[in-house]
Structure 1
């Protein structure tokens, strides 16, 4: 079973959710300190997460720009604490949000080395729900953007996974049929189900394989050597 295309999820597959959680707490600590809020960073983080998750409930139908959802949550938070929110505050938040994601998002162990190795054998691309102004700077900082033929995001397509449209757009860019590609992701709902709906093969990262060395070996076993 030789596959021509490897399509990867990004958050939780190439880069860790743990690093994302840490940088969000760094962000909320900065906000609590700057605005002298009578709240803990953890409380602010929980509020932000709950607000954004609610906006993502229908993301498979219409994608909300994630940073805009966070800016709305930030505005509500400050307003509730009787702080007038101006243009400079929103610029501060956006700058902090983008800077921390770029500088503190971390890849899984061995992910970069494995991606570089696989890029010589397969057509590689990314399908991600991460917004453009987050994913591209991170890929550039990690020096792996050039490994991928293209990046397809929910922001670009207008819908989130598991909507088949985002997978269709990515496959069309590659000129590949679903049966010629495999999708690797960590979410059963968004990644596995999305790939299954369109007829792509899939590897459930974190379940079928636990790390990037196991992932590399599974890809080679299934797809390079003909299964």
Structure 2
């Protein structure tokens, strides 16, 4: 299925690291600690699509990191009809970042797949995120030993799908696009970004998106064992 692959590049959030579960646990902790009287399930139902939309805008460099962190909470509280002061929003934003990476829950079968692949391939990570936060996630989920190189958008200076981050990753891994496979959950950032440089790609359809013809699609990471 995937010919000549020697190096495999994984996305991190929503692909290996269970962002939704870890984010929910973080919000449950900080909302209670700061006596925010909102029901966690209702909060998350509103917050999740807002957060995704802001991350899309952030990937496109149309919003700053600070505005991303403030606006996604402000818009969520406004939608819930909860009066949250700017001071509270800034506190929650800071606490969220501080606590988020302390949780280490992985996507089902992630560890087993990494254990399966590690003896056969060179494994790396390309992630849109902030250097220390992403590396803390990797350390606290105890998967750092699987990866040769970890490339984050903060260090690269650009975000996926910008070709520069993929070029930097290939150079750092000392490999070529034709020998490389990108596995990720985001069709635009991971799949199209990698394919633009000639890399092979595998879409982990975490978000249950409609089928497409860009590349092979899997719905469970365990399916990788039948492809590689």
Q: Which runs of 5+ in 1 are unaligned?
A: 220-227
State TM-score, norm by structure 2.
Answer: 0.75
Give the aligned partner of residue 11 of structure 1: 13
Q: Find the structure with the greater CA-based Rg.
A: 1
Structure 1 residue 208: Cα displacement: 1.9
Give the aligned partner of residue 31 of structure 2: 29
Give the aligned partner of residue 201 of structure 2: 202
What is the alpha-carbon distance in structure 2 between the residues aligned to residue 149 and residue 175 of structure 1? 11
Task: Judge conservation of contact 1:23–1:101 (CA < 8 Å) in 2.
Answer: no
Paired residues in the alignment total 211
What is the alpha-carbon distance in structure 2 between the residues aligned to residue 47 and residue 212 of structure 1? 26
What is the alpha-carbon distance in structure 2 between the residues aligned to residue 15 and residue 183 of structure 1? 16
Give the aligned partner of residue 138 of structure 1: 137
Higher relative contact order (Cα pairs below 8 Å, separated by 6+ residues)? 1
CA 1:7–1:64 in 2, change beyond 3 Å: closer, same or farther?
A: farther
Q: Deviations over 1:46-97 (max 9, x none)?
A: 36863773364252447843x763246557969x9474629xx846642343
Q: Which runs of 5+ in 2 are unaligned?
A: 206-215
Runs (4 or more) in structure 1 with deviation over 4 Å come to 39-45, 61-64, 71-78, 89-93
Return 158-167 or 175-184, whichever deviates more. 158-167
Task: Judge conservation of contact 1:127–1:152 (CA < 8 Å) in 2.
Answer: yes
Give the aligned partner of residue 54 of structure 2: 54
Structure 1 residue 160: Cα displacement: 1.7
State TM-score, norm by structure 1.
Answer: 0.76
Give the aligned partner of residue 94 of structure 1: 94
What is the alpha-carbon distance in structure 2 between the residues aligned to residue 202 and residue 51 of structure 1? 25
CA 1:59–1:100 in 2, change beyond 3 Å: closer, same or farther?
A: closer
In structure 1, the residue corresponding to 2:222 is in which secondary structure?
A: helix
Structure 1 residue 152: Cα displacement: 0.8
Structure 1 residue 126: Cα displacement: 0.4
Q: CA RMSD in A?
A: 3.2
What is the alpha-carbon distance in structure 1 between the residues aligned to residue 68 and residue 203 of structure 2? 28
